[in-house]
Structure 1
Amino acid sequence: MVSLAGCADAVGEPATDQWRINVLTGNVRGAGTTLPAYVQLIGANGTSEKILIGAEEGLARGSSLTFEAAAPKDIGELRRCFVARAKSGYTNTGDGWFLELIEALGPHGEVFQFPCHGWFGHSDCGDYVGALERNLIPVKADHKLPAHEICGDPVSVQAAGIAFPHPDKVTQGQGRGVNKQHFGWAGEDAYFYCTGRSNSIFGMGVADGVYAWKDVGIDSGAMSRSLMETAQHMVQAGCEDVLKVLQVAARYVQSEGVMGSSTMCVLTINLAVGRLQAATLGDSGIFVLGRKPNSGRLEVKFRTPQQEHEFGRPYQLGHFPHANTPDDADLATFVVQAGDVIVAGSDGLLDNLSELELTEEVDRALRAGARAPGIVQRVAKAAFDASIDRKRTTPYSRAATEAFDMVYSGGKKDDISVVVCLVN
């Protein structure tokens, strides 16, 4: 084991802990590289030092390199691991690097596993090209997981999306839905879904622009559409790093001077191993539904949280000084498998259908033989019907009752965008 950092002893210097980090290079043809890489842990409250690895001997195929890194004692729960491979020169050969996994062991026995199963740079064997840097998301578990639970089997997907405008906008002639293959929008909502380079990556997402900006002459629909279009382009270019997708989309709307604000959730799937990565900022969300092994009953296997500063004020990207940033996003990773159904929706879906109602609607559609286009239409219509029902108990009415200490009932009229993906 190579020790590269120590705790600070000098008076006045921040107290640090030692983290043991294990870098596993994949055992596939061309996986090793002669070039070094950088590794850094990012926690909720701070970051570790950035460590250079493989500087002398490179990173060999199938190798395991262990080292230590100093991190602040109050680094908090690890949110991601940043990995970057050094740039190659004109004379470098064998510069492509296939990283399988990074494991981080904390000073108190904490275990974080960061799956990758992806290329950095251009491989020597086969036409595989990956970004030179990635943000890896940890698997949430209280113990070290076996390899088959970190990465699954190859999968394929079928997806469809739809968006409905707020019913009052339709009545007033101010709203319409534009639903095309791979991209659509209605009102201030927008969505996308697509596959990436060589069909090895799939991505989808929704964004919900904040309507209140209309009062000062700003159309937040322009922001949600720009965010989704940029995210779509990133996935099509082969970017699996879901935080990077979010960061680039946010930088684009800022550089273009797009006004307003928007929530956003986006996911990518590495189709070779069924590894889903999700980034959520605000009150849009993602569900993974699957059959329970023994009963065959459809249930929620995974979902992202809704982020709010307070009721009715979600986290959001925007042009104003105190807007949230991509670093505020909730990051998660999960293995999907054949038979799973992934649903992403804006708050127009989540405010009007409960987990149980969503699951039952998808289950009925599946049992009727529906595929992704049929399922997404049924789910969106169910959310719309709930939104205009004044007597119904909905997630929104429950939350409003709790927030204002008054009894509320009925759905919440809103733009509704939904994307459904069937995993095969």
Structure 2
Amino acid sequence: MLCLRQRPIPSVVGHMSRSYSLQRPYKFHVAAEWTGKPPHPENIPKPKVSFSANSPIVSWRDSSLSRLSSLHPPLSAGEDFFLCTNMLHNSGVSLGIADGVGGWIDQGIDSSMFSQALMYYAHGHFENGWAGEPEIDPTLEAPVEASPEGVEMTPSECLDLAYHDVLGDESIEAGSSTACLLTLNSATGVLRSVNLGDSGFCVIRSSSMFYNARPQTHGFNTPKQLAKLQSARGRNFGSRGSLRDMPRVAETWDTRVRDGDIVILYTDGLSDNVFPAEMLKICSLTMSGPGSEMEQVQAIAGHLVQYARRCMFSSKLSPFELDARRYKQRYQGGKVDDVTVVVALVRETQ
């Protein structure tokens, strides 16, 4: 069951929230918030090539962005994109985040197309799959040999399927993206994840960082990434040294969540500008404040994005600056980038 709530939002931040109320032992309040990086006067204009107006990817993307946004048209997520959806028969929820890797613009490629398409295809597979093994409702009269509808869809399988869908989509000539997908099982409370690149997720438990996915990179500011280097028209984009990692090298992780756990997915626009200790403080202060749990989850997402935006224009020490030092690079302050955050609060109902 999907319940939606709308409220006014600041003009610089996109907004989407959902409360998944499932008749199972676990339910999840989920919210997403995002902001594209501001244009720089010296930046090259974005390429005009994009999806056709009647593309199903465009329809899904615009619906995802505008569902709860007070902006008309809704704010773009830049080169980031995300997904939040119920899985088959309310067996769980799936969350995802992707960050289109830059550097394609001089080849006439819009980096946002790959990340949007990857999330679109992943959304379709998750929506038609179970969060765990398919269940048979014991209250229904059915023959013993009857098998339940649908199949189990793990994050790893979904990533592999969605990536191959992107490779076969002729509207996407080339591009690359990081990817982070996870499922939360509403019957067992099992979280399963797959992560490739420097987007990621964390699990906050009892105001402490229970888990924080480590970034996967080839070097400073060079994440591992899924890529499409050969277009349907025969153009080869791999000759320029473009990187291409396969879904099988992505890191997987699973755990059983507990009541009160907070799961946060993020692109590197957050993790390059906000330290884990700052994330913990924002979550703690927000959850101790007023409002319903759904309002608090939405507030966490909003506060994280807004704080990351402030930090990227600050000269204060940032995680990105520390990473630059490790690679003997000179850099000071925050990193200007798109920021997208998806937050889920776990509640046990039984």
Q: Do the structures match in fold with TM over 0.5?
A: yes
1:386 equivalent to 2:300? Answer no
Match of 1:196 in 2: 87
The Cα shift of 1:375 comes to 1.4
**Higher RCO (CA < 8 A, seq sep 6+):** 2
Amino acid at match of 1:422: L
Correspondences of 1:58-69 after superposition (within 5 Å): none
Which residue, out of 164, 170, 178, partners 2:35? 164
Compare CA radii of gyration and give the structure with the larger one: 1
The Cα shift of 1:280 comes to 0.3
Amino acid at match of 1:418: V
Task: Answer yes or no: is the 8 Å Cα contact 1:160–1:182 preserved in 2.
Answer: no
Amino acid at match of 1:270: N
Instruction: State percent identity of aligned pairs.
Output: 29
| CA shift in 2, pair 1:169/1:196, >3 Å | farther
Match of 2:65 in 1: 179
1:422 equivalent to 2:345? Answer yes
Match of 1:250 in 2: 163
The Cα shift of 1:154 comes to 2.8
Cα distance in 1 for partners of 2:121, 2:40 equals 26
Task: Answer yes or no: is the 8 Å Cα contact 1:201–1:235 preserved in 2.
Answer: no
Q: What TM-score do you get using the length of structure 1 for normalisation?
A: 0.59
SS at 1:272's partner residue?
coil
| CA shift in 2, pair 1:405/1:414, >3 Å | closer
1:221 equivalent to 2:112? Answer yes
Cα distance in 1 for partners of 2:270, 2:167 equals 28
Cα distance in 2 for partners of 1:154, 1:278 equals 20
The Cα shift of 1:215 comes to 1.4
Amino acid at match of 2:196: L
Q: CA-to-partner distance for each residue in 1:288-343, whole Å, 9 max, x for gaps? A: 1011xxxxxx0111121100011111100011355101001000001111101110
Amino acid at match of 2:65: N
| CA shift in 2, pair 1:162/1:169, >3 Å | farther
SS at 1:218's partner residue?
coil
Task: Answer yes or no: is the 8 Å Cα contact 2:83–2:97 preserved in 1.
Answer: yes
1:395 equivalent to 2:323? Answer no
Cα distance in 2 for partners of 1:363, 1:198 equals 33
| CA shift in 2, pair 1:282/1:174, >3 Å | same
Amino acid at match of 2:34: A
Task: Answer yes or no: is the 8 Å Cα contact 2:198–2:223 preserved in 1.
Answer: yes
Correspondences of 1:262-341 after superposition (within 5 Å): 262-291=177-206, 298-320=207-229, 322-341=243-262
Task: Answer yes or no: is the 8 Å Cα contact 1:349–1:383 preserved in 2.
Answer: yes
Unpaired runs of at least 5, structure 2 = 1-23, 48-61, 70-74, 132-153, 230-237
Cα distance in 2 for partners of 1:217, 1:174 equals 8
Q: What TM-score do you get using the length of structure 2 for normalisation?
A: 0.71
1:236 equivalent to 2:127? Answer yes
- Aligned residue pairs, count: 263
Q: CA-to-partner distance for each residue in 1:355-391, whole Å, 9 max, x for gaps? A: 10111111111111342222111111111111111x2
Greater Cα offset, 369-378 or 308-317: 369-378
User: Which one has the bigger helix percentage?
Assistant: 2
Match of 2:150 in 1: none
Cα distance in 1 for partners of 2:338, 2:267 equals 8
Cα distance in 1 for partners of 2:309, 2:194 equals 25
The Cα shift of 1:233 comes to 1.4
Match of 2:333 in 1: 410
The Cα shift of 1:179 comes to 2.8
Cα distance in 1 for partners of 2:46, 2:30 equals 28
The Cα shift of 1:238 comes to 2.0
Cα distance in 1 for partners of 2:269, 2:87 equals 28
1:372 equivalent to 2:285? Answer no
Task: Answer yes or no: is the 8 Å Cα contact 2:46–2:110 preserved in 1.
Answer: no
| CA shift in 2, pair 1:395/1:238, >3 Å | same
Unpaired runs of at least 5, structure 1 = 1-152, 292-297
User: Which one has the bigger strand percentage?
Assistant: 1
Cα distance in 2 for partners of 1:338, 1:170 equals 47
Cα distance in 2 for partners of 1:401, 1:215 equals 28
The Cα shift of 1:239 comes to 4.2
Q: CA-to-partner distance for each residue in 1:127-147, whole Å, 9 max, x for gaps? A: xxxxxxxxxxxxxxxxxxxxx
| CA shift in 2, pair 1:402/1:364, >3 Å | same
Which residue, out of 200, 212, 215, partners 2:103? 212
CA RMSD of aligned residues (A): 2.4
SS at 1:186's partner residue?
coil
